[in-house]
Amino acid sequence: MRDRLIKANGNADNQVMLHEDFRYGYYSSASPLLMDALKQMDLWLANIVADTAAGTKREKVIRNKPATLQEGCMTRDAVPTKIVEKFSQTSGKCAELYPAPGSPRFAAGAPLAADVIKCQLKAPVMAEYKATFTTEQWARLNTIFRDGVCDWTKPGIEQQGLRGTWLKF
């Protein structure tokens, strides 16, 4: 999600990610993290509504985010504590505690934005692979992917930009 926001807006300043284990179940009011997140979201929305200064909706959303709303995760200790850090899929304490699942698309080089449904194809290029192939292996790869492999540097087939965004929710 973060990569999609960055791709669309140049940043993801309107996103906050929070992670915890499953000890409270899905969306339980017993979760201190969830209850605080809802309180912070309510404050954020109230601040936006009260903001009469000039600016776009996006600018108002970003500037009214409460300073007390910080991205991070809860430890898995008996009494969890919050680790405040920007979430990353590849590094940090939160990524160690809550590893993001992989997928065949990501393993094949797809962007984290996951915004390509059907990729454009290109012929495989041996230099683009970390593995070292034998002649037989390279021939097999080209036979299996006779039509080509995904070119993740290009937009998806028939992929178009947004016509606009919702004006009301």
What is the tens place of the pLDDT at every residue in 65-78?
999 999 999 999 99
pLDDT band at 166 (very low <50, low <70, confident <90, very high): low
Q: What is the pLDDT of residue 167?
A: 56
- DSSP letters for 1-20: -HHHHHHHHS--TT---EE-
Residue 108, CA distances (Å) to 44, 117, 142, 147 in order: 39, 14, 15, 16
Residue 31, CA distances (Å) to 13, 25, 28, 94, 98 in order: 25, 8, 6, 18, 17
**Residue from 58, 16, 77 nearest 41 by CA:** 16
What is the tens place of the pLDDT at every residue in 44-73?
999 999 999 999 999 999 999 999 999 999
pLDDT value at 168 more than 70: no
Q: What is the pLDDT of residue 52?
A: 96
- Burial pattern 70-87, b for ≥16 Cβ within 10 A else e, equals ebbbbeeeeebeebeeeb
Looking at the chain, the whole-number percentage of residues with pLDDT higher than 70 is 96
pLDDT greater at residue 78 or residue 10 = 78
Give the whole-angstrom CA distance, residue 142 versus residue 133. Answer: 12
Give the whole-angstrom CA distance, residue 55 versus residue 169. Answer: 19
What is the tens place of the pLDDT at every residue in 75-123?
999 999 999 999 888 889 999 999 988 888 888 888 877 888 899 999 9
**Mean per-residue pLDDT over the chain, rounded:** 91
Q: What is the pLDDT of residue 21?
A: 95
Q: Provide the whole-model pTM.
A: 0.68
For the chain, give the number of residues: 169
Q: What is the pLDDT of residue 1?
A: 79
DSSP reduced 3-state for 120: coil
- Taking the CA atoms of 31, 112, 41 and 27 in sequence, report the sign of the dihedral they define: negative
Out of 18-22, 101-105, 141-145, which region has the weakest mean confidence (pLDDT)?
Answer: 101-105
